[in-house]
Amino acid sequence: MAKTGDQDRVKRQFTRLLMQWNEGQNRRQMPWKGEKDPYRIWLSEIILQQTRVEQGLSYYQRFITNYPTIHHLAGAGDQQVFKDWEGLGYYSRCRNLLATARFISQNLNGEFPKTYAEVLALKGIGPYTAAAIASFAFNLPHAVVDGNVFRVLSRVFGISVSTSSGEGKKYFTRLANEVLDKKNPGLYNQAIMDFGATICKPLAAGCNECALSEICFAHKNNMVASFPVKDKKAPIRKRHFHYLIIEHRGKIAIRQREDKDIWRHLYEFVLVEDGNEKSVKAVVETAAKNGIIDKKDWALVSESPLFKQQLTHQMISAKFIRLKVARKPENGFQWISKEDIKQYPFPRLINNFLESCESELK
* Contacting residues for 100 by C-beta, under 8 A, at least 6 apart: 122, 123, 124, 125
Query: Which residues sit opposite 247 in a β-bridge?
Result: 252, 324
Strands 334-337 and 251-256: antiparallel
CA 81/CA 243 separation, integer angstroms = 25
In terms of phi and psi (left: phi > 0; alpha: psi -120 to 50; beta: otherwise), the region of 57 is: alpha
User: Is 118 among the residues known to form the active site?
Assistant: no
CA 142/CA 173 separation, integer angstroms = 10
Catalytic hit among 23, 45, 111, 303: 45
CA 214/CA 209 separation, integer angstroms = 11
Residue 110 CA: distances (Å) to CA of 36, 38, 73: 15, 11, 11
* Contacting residues for 114 by C-beta, under 8 A, at least 6 apart: 138
8 Å CB contact between 362 and 245: no
Q: Please identify every residue annotated as catalytic.
A: 45
